[in-house]
Structure 1
Amino acid sequence: MAVTQRRGRKIMMSPAELDAFLATERTCRVATVSKDGAPHVSTLWFAWDGTSLWLYSVTRSKRWADLRRDGRVAVVVDAGEEYGELRGVELAGTVEFVGEIPRTGEPCPELDAVERQFAKKNFDLDAMVHDGRHAWARLTPETVASWDFRKLAELPSR
């Protein structure tokens, strides 16, 4: 993954911090491009495999229609309440669709690990339950920007 961040290098997450953060957080905000060119932002659960962010979306949603028409996306995952606790990451790029649409559980080795992870993380299940309404989009980010304001306390004051 390419980290293209210039500003805020002192508070950006290391690759290990980024992996740990994305492995534990559940909710992201997905920004897509609507038919009229306007941004559309919605929330979604996700999985992270160390390289790609996997979005499991309802296929009859505006988000899915936007992604099918224009695969460009920006995704933000963040956490914290107080200013000094804020941390997060923005990942951007173009999604690829993986597996059948909608997903019914047909064998797809590429989805085995991510579906196990998603089921465990979000439902405490060992296997994915498919409802025939969702499908997978994979974002292998072209750009990544992260921040961890907790590091501000560690920086020397001027």
Structure 2
Amino acid sequence: MDRHGAKDIERLSGARLTSEAKAALLAEQTECTFCFLDEDGGPAAVVLSFAVDDDRFWITSVQGRVQVRGVERDPRVSIVVSGTGTGSQGRQMLSITGTAEIHRDISGLGDRLDLLAARLAPDHPERFIALLTSPGRLLIEVTPTSTVASHDSRRLAGDGRGGPARVAQNEEDRS
């Protein structure tokens, strides 16, 4: 049986992220594309840092920013995470839709601030927490509702670029 992508890359259903690869991507990547609706109801997006805890995305922002105004108008959002810039081989991507909630009073969310600080400023988390507790600072919590798409080129022959076939990475790849 041919491996996915050996002759073409039209059928990519076999190149979705496994749950292990998804967890690895979310653990390694610290930036996402955060998509929301602008004031005219059109698509808009910004790149933001994030952390994931208990399957929820946590993003820090400031009152009045375009993404905050977008969530205030409509809490339906999308988040796209790619493996670009990580040490991972191949190309990985995860796109989810979700519902965003703005937390303006972050005094009770110290554990989330600690999570963000440890992830985004591991050398000096206390300095980052001081920045995160500034006036106007808030947290956006995104609860995923569905996975739109995912991709892992390592599950394709030749990494999906027509190169030589690579050895399967796990038993699931051999089936």
User: Which of 40, 46, 56 does residue 60 from structure 2 map onto?
Assistant: 56
Which protein has greater RCO, CA pairs closer than 8 Å, 6+ apart?
Answer: 1
Deviations along 1:73-98, one digit per CA (max 9) or x if unpaired, are 011010238xx821111111211223
Matched, 1:135 2:138: yes
Structure number with larger C-alpha Rg? 2
Give the match for residue 121 of structure 1.
119
Q: Distance in 2 between matches of 1:9 and 1:132?
A: 46
Percent same amino acid at aligned positions?
24
Distance apart, 1:126 and its partner CA: 4.0
Q: Distance in 2 between matches of 1:152 and 1:113?
A: 39
Deviations along 1:14-33, one digit per CA (max 9) or x if unpaired, are 22321221122111111111
Distance apart, 1:112 and its partner CA: 3.3
- Could you list the runs of 5+ residues in structure 2 that have no partner in the other structure? 1-10, 158-167
Counterpart secondary structure, 2:144: coil
Matched, 1:85 2:90: yes
Counterpart secondary structure, 1:140: strand
Counterpart secondary structure, 2:49: strand
Q: Distance in 2 between matches of 1:8 and 1:59?
A: 41
Relative to structure 1, the CA distance from residue 9 to residue 70 in structure 2 (aligned partners, 3 Å threshold; closer, same or farther) is same
- Could you list the runs of 5+ residues in structure 1 that have no partner in the other structure? 1-6
Moved over 3 A (4+): none
Deviations along 1:51-107, one digit per CA (max 9) or x if unpaired, are 1111211222111111111111011010238xx82111111121122351xx4xx2x
Q: Distance in 1 between matches of 2:54 and 2:81?
A: 15
Query: Number of matched residues?
Result: 141
Structure 2 length normalisation: TM-score? 0.71
Q: Distance in 2 between matches of 1:29 and 1:118?
A: 17
Counterpart secondary structure, 1:85: coil
CA contact (8 A) 2:39 2:70 kept: yes
Structure 1 length normalisation: TM-score? 0.78
